[in-house]
Chain A
Amino acid sequence: MVSPLVYGAVKSVFDGLLVGSLYGLMALGLTLIFRVTRIANFAYAEYLTYAGYAAAFVSAMLSGVTAFVAALLTAAFVGAIISLLSDELAFKPLWLRGADSLTLLVASMGVGFVLRYSLMGMAVFENWPLEIQPHVPKSILFTLGGIAYFSTAHAAAIIAAVATSVFMHWLFTRTRTGKAMRATASNPVLARISGINIYYVRRITWLLAGAVGGVAGFLYSYRNPMNPESGWLMLLWIFSAAIMGGFTFFGSLISGIILGLAENLVAFFLYQFFGISTAYSPVIALAALVVVLLFKPEGVIRLETHMLRKRV
C-alpha cells in the first residue's frame, strides 16, 4: 500500500510544474523585453490580467474546444496590443528623449498602476463578477491514488512553457529577425547603419512579449479565478524567475519551474513533517531564489557563459 503521503508529494510535483511553467512562461516575455530594450517592465503583469479578462469574456459566448482556442487567441492578441500600446505611448517616447533604464523602470511602475486601476475601475463600474475564469472545458487526464491529479490545465501550462522557450531560443539564435533584435540591443546606431529598421524590431519585440504574457494570463485563469490584481501579485515571481534565469530564455523556464516546485513541494513537506502552514510557501520560494543567487549570482544559466565559452 502506498502511503497517501507519496500521492500528496506527487500532487505537489504536478502543481509545482504547472505553476512553475506559468512563472517560466511569464518570465520569458519579461526577459525578451529586457534583453532587447533594457527595460525592467513592472507593467508587464498587467498584460496578463487584461488578457485573462478578455479570454474570459470571449469564451463566455462560446463552448467546447472552440471556446478554448478562441480564448487562447484572444488572450495572445490582447496581451500583444496592450504591450505595444504601453511602449508606443509611454516607453518609446521616454526612451527617445534619452530616459535611462532606471527612469524607464520607474515609468513602468506608473504604467502598471494606470493599467491595473483602469481595469479595476471598469470592473467596478460595469459590475463585473469579483473574479473571472474562462468558460472553457477542463478535464482530468489521469489521477494517482485519488489524490494526485494531472489535468488539461497542467498539460497546457507545461506544453506552452516548453514550446515558447524553445521557440524564443530558436528565434533569437537562428533567425534573421532574432539576430536583428540582438543587434538592436547590442548597438542600435550600428543596427540602423546596417539597414535594420530598429523601430520595427522594437514593435515586434513588444508584440511578441505581450502575446506570450497574454497566453500566460489565460492559462493562469484556466486554473485559478482571476481578479484585476492577479497579475500584480505574481510580479515578484515573474521577476524572480527572470533574474534567477540570468535573463535567458531557457533560464527563465528552469527557474520558473524551480520556484514552482519549491513553492509546492517544499511547502508540502514542511507542512507534513513540521506542521508549517502552507501560507509560508512564498517565503520558501523566495528562499530558493536567495540560495540560487548565493551560489550562482549570475543566474542558473549565465548570459556571459555564452561569451566566455567562445573566447579565443
Chain B
Amino acid sequence: MTGNRVLETRKLRGGYGKMIIVDDVDIYVEKGEIVALVGPNGSGKSTLLKTIYGVAKVFGGRISFEGRDVTYLAPEEKTRIGMGFVPQTENVFPDLTVEENLEMGGYLIKNERKLREAIEMVYSIFPQLRDLRHVLAGALSGGQRKMVAVGRALMTMPRLLLMDEPTAGLAPKTALELLDKLVDIKRETNASILIVEQHARRALEISDRGYVLVSGRIAAEGTGKEILSRPDLQALFLGKHG
C-alpha cells in the first residue's frame, strides 16, 4: 500500500445479502486526484462505492484509507476519520430543512463556530442554497436536492469524497454546472474524489484517471484521455451519449 494513496482496495468483493456483485476489485485514488468509475448499467459501480463505505456488505479483500485498514469499519466511523459519501438516491433528509441537512452533515463538528463556518463554505460553493436554507429538503427540485446532498457530505471537509452519479436525473445544463463545481469543491476542501458516473465522457474529461467496471470487475484503467480514445471501450458504453 503506497504512501501517496488516499484510497486503495485490494481484491475487494462486495454485494448484498448472499449476492456478490463486485469481485476482485483493485483500485486506488492518489492524493489530489479525481478518479472516475464508469461502465454500463448494472455493472456494480454503485455497489462498489457502497461496499467501500460499508453500506453494502464486504465479502472479502481489503480497503485502506490513508494507509489504514478500514475494511470493516462502520459508515459513521468512516465519516469520523475523514471520508465522505454522496449516495445516488435518498441522499438528503427530506423532513429536515436545507440548513438542518447541512447541520446533520456537520454532526461530528462539536464547535458551533466551526459548524457555521462549514455551512458558509457550502453556501459559497452553492449560492442558491442560501436562499433555500429554511425550505424542507423534500420540497426541493432534483437539482436543488443534489446540491444539498453534496453540501451535506462536504460539511466535514472529507479528504476522500465518494460520489455516486451526482448528475443522475439532472438536466444536461445543471449536470455540467455540478461537475464544474467539483473544481471548486477540490479547492475549498482539498478532497480527493472518486466519482461514479453514467455520463462516462463527461466524467472522464474532468478526471485525472478512470476505471471501467463491467459485470462487477475492472475491465480497463488509465487516464481519462486513454480510456476515451480506446475504440473497443467506446462501443461498450460511450455509444449514444457520446
The chain A residues found within 8 Å of chain B, CB to CB, are 176, 179-180, 182-183, 185-187, 189-198, 306-307, 310-312
- Docked-complex contact A312 and B132, CB < 8 angstroms: yes
With A179-B96, A182-B95, A187-B93 known as contacts, the answer to whether A192 contacts B75 (CB < 8 A) is yes
**B91 interface residue (CB < 8 Å to A):** yes
> Are A193 and B136 within 8 A (Cβ)?
no
Q: Tell whether, in the assembled complex, residue A194 and residue B74 are in contact, meaning their CB atoms are under 8 Å apart.
A: no
**List of B residues within 8 angstroms of A307 by Cβ:** 95, 136, 138-139
Q: Is the CB of A183 within 8 A of B136?
A: no
- Segment of B102-110, B193-201, B202-210, B225-233 engaged in the interface with chain A: B102-110
Q: How far is the CA of A141 from the CA of B55 in the complex (A)?
A: 59
* 8 nearest CB pairs, A to B: A195-B79, A195-B108, A186-B93, A192-B75, A186-B95, A311-B139, A183-B104, A192-B76
CB distance from A197 to the nearest CB of B (A): 6
Task: Find out whether the CB atom of B107 lies under 8 angstroms from the CB atom of A180.
Answer: yes
Residues of B with Cβ closer than 8 Å to A?
A: 53, 55, 74-76, 79-80, 85, 87, 90-97, 100, 103-105, 107-108, 132, 134-136, 138-140, 152-153, 156
A181 to B105, CA, bound (A): 14
Q: Which residues of A have CB within 8 Å of B152? A: 190, 194
Known: A179-B100, A310-B134, A311-B139. Contact between A195 and B90, CB under 8 A? no
What is the CB-to-nearest-CB distance from A35 to chain B, in angstroms, rounded to a whole number?
A: 10
Do A197 and B104 touch across chains, with their CB atoms under 8 A apart? no
Provide a sorted-by-A list of 26 A–B residue pairs whose CB atoms are within 8 angstroms.
A176-B107, A179-B96, A179-B103, A179-B104, A182-B95, A183-B100, A186-B94, A187-B94, A189-B55, A189-B87, A190-B90, A191-B104, A192-B75, A193-B79, A193-B87, A193-B153, A194-B104, A195-B156, A196-B104, A197-B76, A307-B95, A307-B136, A310-B97, A310-B134, A312-B132, A312-B139
Determine the chain B residues whose CB is within 8 A of the CB of A311 once the complex forms.
135-136, 139
Question: How far apart are the CA atoms of A25 and B138 in the complex, in Å?
Answer: 30
Q: List the A residue with the shortest CB-CB distance to B81.
A: A195
Residues from chain B with Cβ under 8 Å of A198 in the complex? 76
- A189-B75, A310-B139 given; 4 more Cβ-contact pairs under 8 Å: A189-B87, A193-B79, A194-B105, A311-B139
Alpha-carbon distance between A193 and B132 when the two chains are bound, in angstroms: 23
Residue of A nearest to B132 (CB): A312
Beta-carbon nearest neighbor of B155 in chain A: A194
Question: For the complex, what is the distance from the CA of A200 to the CA of B160, rounded to whole Å?
Answer: 26
Task: Collect the chain A residues with CB atoms within 8 Å of residue B153's CB.
Answer: 193
Q: How far is the CA of A180 from the CA of B93 in the complex (A)?
A: 10
Q: Decide yes or no: A180 and B104 within 8 Å by CB, A187-B90, A193-B79, A311-B136 being known contacts.
A: yes
**Given A183-B96, A186-B95, A310-B97, CB of A192 within 8 Å of CB of B74:** yes
Closest residue of A by beta carbon distance from B50: A189
Determine whether the beta carbon of A190 is less than 8 Å from that of B95: no
Q: How far is the CA of A86 from the CA of B80 in the complex (A)?
A: 30
A180 to B95, CA, bound (A): 12
Bound-state CA distance A189–B53 (Å) is 11
**Contact in complex: A310, B135 (CB < 8 Å):** yes
Smallest CB gap from A196: residue in B: B107
Closest residue of A by beta carbon distance from B83:
A193
User: Looking across the interface, which residue of chain A has its beta carbon closest to that of B80?
Assistant: A195
Q: CA–CA, A195 to B80, complex, Å?
A: 6
Report yes or no: A182 in contact with B93, Cβ–Cβ below 8 A. yes
In the complex the two chains form, is B75's CB within 8 Å of A193's CB?
A: yes
Known contacts A180-B104, A196-B107; is-contact A312 B95 (Cβ 8 Å): no
Tell me the bound Cα distance from A182 to B100 in angstroms: 10
Given A192-B76, A307-B138; A185-B55 close (CB under 8 Å): no
Shortest distance from the beta carbon of B84 to any chain A beta carbon, whole Å: 8
- Tell me the complex Cα distance, A176–B132, Å: 20
Contact B87 A190 (CB under 8 A): yes
Least CB distance from B139 to A in Å reads: 5
